[in-house]
Structure 1
């Protein structure tokens, strides 16, 4: 462990760093003796010291259920595009060792090995493309990296969003947040004025256009197209949050950070009452690119999910 973690309770550190388990679950795991610090069983109240080595011995575990009703949107000899539901990770991570989109596709006798090209957050639904071989995946990945894939997302955000916004700037860590992995967006001019620019900062650019509005429990929300030019971690979510228009249903970048802290504590908050939705209101609605093998302009679209507001 480094200097940043030193002085933190072990159960608090585990819940904030590894959010696939709540703090109460980590406390139970610690009490079962499944976590060692410096080779010895540690209590939840143990205070982390710099240089500590933490070892997790999970034993047998059970994966949470996921939505498996994905649809095939496009398929040829090189690629397969899937309409991803809003509650399944794309690849193995955390508690989701087998219950993920890649593994479930590979279990289907119609398909063989799937090659990941790009990713969506577990709670983001919509278009995701896989390569059927390494060459196909490499060629389309190159188009993504060179920003030659046009991506369109549909989001629902709290508040009355402007007609259009161009958000060009940087993503940096958010030291004011209690959530370790949370990021924030700063416009280019503001970033240049920072006294100590973040070492892990990343350039990012997203254009937004309002296309509708409504209310939830008397609170206004807006329906917004998102056109990301770059593809950074949490880019759309962090940018909208920093602009003052957090996504409905977003536990990390929502309008109330306490909801996420309650969630990882295992308190089971009423997400719809607090956030407007059970999951973040972000949907990958289309991808457009020139097919690397055929040269044909290819557009893959996904309809708005049923759990989104009308």
Structure 2
């Protein structure tokens, strides 16, 4: 296979863009450098910037589809599920497609793949692949409907052939006492009152197992995954979630804006997009409300970069599909420059240093009770973060330092892992700080006086302060001042 064909096949760039892409990146095949689009290569043995091709034998992923997204490749149909995928996944050839579809206002599990035979095998009626749905109805479902669904004689209005047999499980009533922001709904409002919950299972039925091979806990399910979060099937797991609202102030400020994009400065612990089905505000909903006029006139918002819930600072949002594509390519090519400020424990001996320790998910090489926890390991993916010490000061909690962090790659939790690896964990970090038990304690019981003694801040002191990005052959810069919680630590010493 030619090098330009391989790059196009796996979504790195088009064949037309390949010559320029090759010049900007380090490419080797079986240890030998590649510099021409016509070089003969194979997916096995090639390294792109030191990393192998992602999913060379085919992409198979599970996506938790949020409401409001369409299972279509047509840009004219509004928000598409494919907009939620990483840049390379969206540009693979053959294209990544969903295995079956869900209606725009239906949420739930979708399988995604670029394997056409797998799609046919999963969707063909001959193979009887089972699906499970949960629904809430306005009125009670009569118990005799259970027998009717199972009989295989139910015929819909306007149809002549009956539906296939299905198992209908009535799960009782469920109240809906609060709106999406956790506010109580007054009696008599259109959304108050009870709903009848039911489960519809096509026959035969199966249960998906986590990576451990054990059945999921009763409180788990795909609701444990964030909306729009793609998960590799071999690594799937179930985690329990709480139905309680999360206390969160939906605050953000506009740092820069054009007709094509907007940069906002988000607070913590505000999430950037809907997640886990929890009743809480999110940044994307707030930006949609701010830009409601533009959206009414055809704008389609797309997050370009994302920040963790507890990280404050700058997030770039594209206003339409062309801007999303251009800014997505810039992100993929590492043309977007990001800087963060962190408050760390103890005073670093260095004034400036670069950490190049590779990172992987800790569960791949050692035990961890936290699925997302990352760790430094020789088998991890290459990554680099530059650190500069900005200021040091003493507090009654011990010596602290303000450090500027400049990631040159974008691994999960990269800055937090690298600082902990250097011996200077970020203040308030529940996973990489004093002990991962802080995170587990917080998840189970919330913020407490004991956690405050160990962590000082209820969130990790990391702030995205500067963002530079190219657009339409210009370079734009946005900056955000330190948030109040971090600023007070600098001003008062505690």
Q: 2:485 maps to which residue?
A: 307
Show the 5 A alignment for 1:186-205. Answer: 186=377, 191=378, 197=379, 201-205=380-384
**Paired residue for 2:434?**
255
2:215 counterpart of 1:52: yes
Give CA deviations for 1:81-138 in whole Å, capped at 9, x if unaligned.
Answer: 1011111011111244661111222133345232111100011011111000111011
Alignment-derived partner of residue 464 in structure 2:
284
Residue 183 of structure 1 pairs with residue 374 of structure 2: yes
What is aligned with 1:223?
Answer: 402
Which secondary structure does the structure 2 equivalent of 1:211 belong to?
Answer: strand
Partner of residue 238 from structure 1, selected from 417, 425, 428: 417
Equivalent position to 1:207, from 360, 378, 386: 386
- In 2, the alpha carbon distance for the partners of 1:49 and 1:233 equals 23
Q: Is the counterpart of residue 107 in structure 1 residue 289 in structure 2?
A: yes
Cα distance in 1 between the residues matched to 2:278 and 2:426: 24
In 2, distance between residues paired with 1:275 and 1:49? Answer: 32
Higher mean alpha-carbon deviation, 117-126 vs 236-245, is at: 236-245
| Cα shift at 1:179 | 2.3
1:246-302 superposed Cα distances (whole Å, 9 cap, x missing partner) = 100111111232222211221643343211211110000001122x22x22211000
TM-score w.r.t. the length of structure 1 is: 0.74
Quote the offset at 1:151 in angstroms.
0.8
**Cα offset, 1:53, TM superposition:** 5.1
Query: Structure 2 CA distance, aligned partners of 1:267 and 1:286?
Result: 31
Report if the CA contact (8 A) 2:383-2:408 is conserved. Answer: yes
| Structure-2 separation of matches of 1:267 and 1:278 | 10
Cα distance change, pair 217–118 in 1 and its aligned pair in 2 (3 A): same
Change in 2 beyond 3 A, CA 1:177/1:244: farther
Q: Distance in 2 between matches of 1:89 and 1:172?
A: 24
Larger Cα Rg: Structure 1 or Structure 2?
Answer: 2
Write the distance in 2 (CA, Å) between the matches of 1:216 and 1:94: 38
SS in 2 for 1:169: coil
SS at match of 2:384: strand
Change (3 A) 1:296 1:258: same
Higher mean C-alpha displacement, 137-146 vs 63-72: 63-72
How far off is 1:156 after superposition?
Answer: 0.6
Q: Structure 1 residues 97 and 218 mapped into 2: Cα distance closer, same or farther (>3 Å)?
A: closer
Q: Classify the secondary structure of the residue corresponding to 1:144.
A: helix
The residue that corresponds to 2:64 in the other structure is none
2 CA distance for matches of 1:211 and 1:287? 18
Cα deviations across residues 145-200 of structure 1 (Å, max 9, x unaligned)?
Answer: 111111110001111112111111311222254323211134xxxx2xxxxx3xxx
CA contact (8 A) 1:73 1:302 kept: yes
Q: 1:87 to 1:49 in 2, by over 3 A?
A: closer
Root mean square deviation, CA, Å:
2.7
Q: Is the 8 A contact 1:285 1:303 kept in 2?
A: yes
Q: TM-score, normalised by structure 2?
A: 0.47
Q: Equivalent of 2:475, from 283, 297, 305?
A: 297
Q: 2:272 aligns with which of 74, 90, 93?
A: 90
Is contact 1:216–1:276 with CA below 8 Å preserved after alignment? no
1:18 counterpart residue number:
none
> What pairs up with 1:116-135 in 2 under 5 angstroms?
116-135=303-322
Select the residue among 146, 154, 164 that pairs with 2:333.
Answer: 146
Indicate if the aligned counterparts of 2:346 and 2:398 stay in contact, CA closer than 8 A.
Answer: yes
Question: Residue deviations 1:17-37, cap 9 Å, x none?
Answer: xxxxxxxxxxxxxxx9x9x9x
Asked if 2 retains the 8 angstrom alpha-carbon contact of 1:83 and 1:127, the reply is yes
Are 1:89 and 1:100, in contact at CA under 8 Å, matched by a contact in 2? yes
**In structure 2, do the counterparts of structure 1 residues 87 and 267 end up closer, same or farther at CA, with 3 Å as the change threshold?**
closer
Paired positions, count: 252
Q: Secondary structure at the match of 2:466?
A: strand
